Every structure is written in structure tokens, then in C-alpha cells.
């Protein structure tokens, strides 16, 4: 009787949901015609090609990230941080070149460094530049746009300029600490990533490296699969004429790709292959907007940043970043692409 009373409400709730599902299924229109008309062949071709091209670079990126997490201490990075603002911004941009790291593993590290005294403007510059300005992302972009290497050069240049400009703006105008109030610290030194806790002092560094790499691969892999699936559906269902109408607009193409990049939340080591699949329908400038804006700020990144910074600071940073990327992409599109 005790078991029945304890589990009865839960079972009754499931039964009600089952009855509602049967009613809805009975009243739903027949979807067989839509399923039969769906261009499955085109969808599968696009989906599988994006996955196969992107996975090697995702693997390379998570290995670099794992090595950085295990073998390079925060104190080492902090000792080398310059005090001059211009040199500090250049230093933050160069960290991505030296240490490839996705934003998933970067934000916890930056939070700890800021707690220990790293200036806000250097932290923001590193968060924006790090996911783009690294050799793995450059290689993946170059491979995705083999016939148009200028896209890789433009991506690196625009990302550097935007990150440096926003870092200097933060230095000039942000005087109040934008960090959320610190939560009570737990015993020991550990960092959280992808729902797992990794201890910095793990004696077996090989196991720590493999553990971090596997966690990060599966964390980013789900976003890659979701992005490839959504891209395949869009390109298979939406007519080429409709995509061209959006993709050839001077401003609409940029706004569409900016929103697309924000929702997809792709890893910067794989987003170039998604962008290249739109190369025949969208302008070069809008593809550049996708490649620069997405890694700097996206849906999953926003949620992570909101756990560290105040809401007003993140909203302001996102708005200024969107304007800077849009203007920069248009200038480069009209000048070089």
C-alpha cells in the first residue's frame, strides 16, 4: 500500500500523458506524404559530408585543449600577463595562437584567473579571440575553403581586430567589476568542464589528458551533429531561390548568418565546413560574419558567460560585438573579397 501511494501519482500522470498522446496522434494529419516527399538523399549527403570533414579537426582541437589544461598552469599564464593595456590586448590575442582552446574549457580558466587578479579587458579579449585565433581553426578554415584561401586570412584578421577593439573598449569604459558575486569555494583546486570535475593535481597526467579530451569531444560533438543536421535540413528543404534571395542581400545575409551562427553554437574547429556549404548561395561577407561572430558569442557560450559575468555586461558586450563584426565584414567584403 505504501508503494502504491508513493508511486500512484507518478503512474497516474504517465497514464494521462499517454491518453493525451493517443488523442493527438489520432487527430494529427497524415505525415506520410511529407515524409515521402522529403529530399532524404540531399539531406544525407550534406549531413554526412559535414561530419566527415569536421571530425578530424575537432579531435585535433580537443587534444590541444587537453594538453593545455593538464600541462600549463594558470600561474604560468598570469606571470606573463603584461600590465600595459595595448600589450595586454596583444598578449590576450596571441594566447589563442599559442594554446588552441574552445570556449567551453576557456571560460572556467578565465574565471579563475580573474579571481586571482587578471584584468577584465584581457580576459574578455582572450574569450573572444581564443576560439578563432589558433592554428587548428586556421587549418580547418583553409581546408574548408580550399579554392578561396582569402576567407581564412580574412577570418583571422577580422577576429583579431574585433577582439582587440572590444578589449580596449572594455579597458576604457568598464570600471565596475562585471563578475557575479563569488560562490563559496569548495575544498581543493579543481575546474569544471562538461559536467565533470577534473582535479589539477592528478598524478596521472596521461589519464587526465585523455579524460579531458574525451569529455570535450563529446561535449562539442553534440553541437556539431545538431549543426550539421540543421544545415542539411535547411539546404534540403528551402529552395535555392529562397536561399539566394536571403543570401545575396547586403544586410539580410549578414543578419541571417549571424543568427544562424548564434543558434547553432558550433565549435570553431568545425564551423568552417558548415559555412562552406553555403558558399554558392550566400555572399562572402555574410560567411565571414558567420565564421567570426559564432565562435565569439553563441547560445551555449552565452549561458556559460552568464554564469560568470553580470547580465548587463553580457548584453552590452553582445550588442557591441554584433555591430563590430557586421561593420568589419562589410568593409572586408567590399575591399578584399
Cβ atoms of residues 315 and 327 within 8 Å: no
- Measured between alpha carbons, how far is 98 from 234 in angstroms, rounded to an integer? 36
Domain spans of the chain, in order of start: 39-182+189-335
Cell numbers that stand for 170 in this block: 572594455
DSSP letter string, 205-228: HHHHHHHHHHHHHHHHHHHHHHHH
- Predicted pLDDT at 53: 72
Q: Does pTM surpass 0.95?
A: no
Cα 315 to its chain centre, rounded Å, is 17
Query: When comparing pLDDT for 204 and 28, which is higher?
Result: 204
3-state helix, strand, coil in the chain (%, to 5): 75, 5, 25
Site of grid cell 508513493:
6
pLDDT-above-70 percentage for the chain: 74
What end-to-end distance do the CA atoms of the chain give, in Å? 74
Q: Is 325 helix (H, G, I), strand (E, B) or coil?
A: helix
The pLDDT-based confidence of 312 (bands split at 50, 70, 90) is: very high
- Predicted pLDDT at 119: 87
- Predicted pLDDT at 187: 33
pLDDT in tens, 75-134: 776 777 788 899 999 988 887 777 666 665 567 667 767 766 778 999 899 889 988 998
Cell numbers that stand for 90 in this block: 596583444
- Measured between alpha carbons, how far is 283 from 254 in angstroms, rounded to an integer? 8
- Predicted pLDDT at 34: 59
Measured in degrees and rounded to the nearest 5, phi and psi for residue 28 equal: -70, 145
- Predicted pLDDT at 193: 42
In the predicted model, is pLDDT for residue 51 greater than 60?
A: yes
Query: When comparing pLDDT for 201 and 337, which is higher?
Result: 337
- Predicted pLDDT at 18: 59
Task: Tell me what the pLDDT averaged over the chain comes to.
Answer: 78
Amino acid at each position: 500500500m505504501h508503494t502504491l501511494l508513493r508511486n500512484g501519482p507518478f503512474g497516474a500522470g504517465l497514464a494521462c500523458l499517454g491518453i493525451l498522446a493517443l488523442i493527438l496522434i489520432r487527430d494529427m494529419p497524415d505525415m506520410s506524404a511529407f515524409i515521402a516527399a522529403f529530399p532524404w538523399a540531399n539531406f544525407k549527403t550534406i549531413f554526412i559530408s559535414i561530419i566527415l570533414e569536421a571530425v578530424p579537426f575537432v579531435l585535433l582541437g580537443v587534444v590541444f585543449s587537453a594538453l593545455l589544461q593538464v600541462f600549463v598552469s594558470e600561474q604560468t599564464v598570469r606571470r606573463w600577463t603584461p600590465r600595459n593595456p595595448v600589450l595586454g590586448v596583444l598578449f590576450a590575442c596571441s594566447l589563442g595562437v599559442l594554446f588552441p582552446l574552445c570556449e567551453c574549457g576557456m571560460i572556467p580558466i578565465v574565471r579563475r584567473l580573474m579571481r586571482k587578479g587578471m584584468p577584465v579587458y584581457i580576459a574578455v579579449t582572450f574569450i573572444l579571440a581564443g576560439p578563432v585565433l589558433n592554428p587548428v581553426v586556421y587549418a580547418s578554415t583553409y581546408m574548408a575553403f580550399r579554392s578561396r584561401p582569402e576567407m581564412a586570412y580574412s577570418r583571422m584578421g577580422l577576429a583579431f581586430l574585433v577582439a582587440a577593439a572590444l578589449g580596449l573598449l572594455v579597458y576604457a569604459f568598464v570600471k565596475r567589476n562585471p563578475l557575479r558575486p563569488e560562490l563559496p569555494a569548495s575544498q581543493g583546486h579543481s575546474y569544471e568542464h562538461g559536467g565533470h570535475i577534473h582535479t589539477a593535481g592528478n598524478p596521472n597526467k596521461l589519464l587526465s589528458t585523455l579524460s579531458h579530451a574525451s569529455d570535450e569531444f563529446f561535449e562539442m560533438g553534440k553541437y556539431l551533429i545538431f549543426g550539421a543536421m540543421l544545415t542539411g535540413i535547411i539546404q534540403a528543404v528551402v529552395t535555392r531561390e529562397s536561399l539566394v534571395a536571403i543570401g545575396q542581400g547586403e544586410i539580410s545575409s549578414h543578419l541571417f548568418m549571424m543568427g544562424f551562427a548564434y543558434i547553432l553554437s558550433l565549435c570553431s574547429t568545425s564551423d568552417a565546413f558548415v559555412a562552406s556549404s553555403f558558399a554558392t548561395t550566400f555572399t562572402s561577407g555574410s560567411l565571414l560574419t558567420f565564421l567570426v561572430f559564432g565562435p565569439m558569442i553563441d547560445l551555449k557560450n552565452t549561458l556559460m558567460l552568464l554564469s560568470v559575468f553580470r547580465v548587463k555586461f553580457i548584453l552590452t558586450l553582445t550588442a557591441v560585438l554584433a555591430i563590430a563584426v557586421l561593420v568589419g565584414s562589410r568593409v572586408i567584403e567590399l575591399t578584399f573579397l
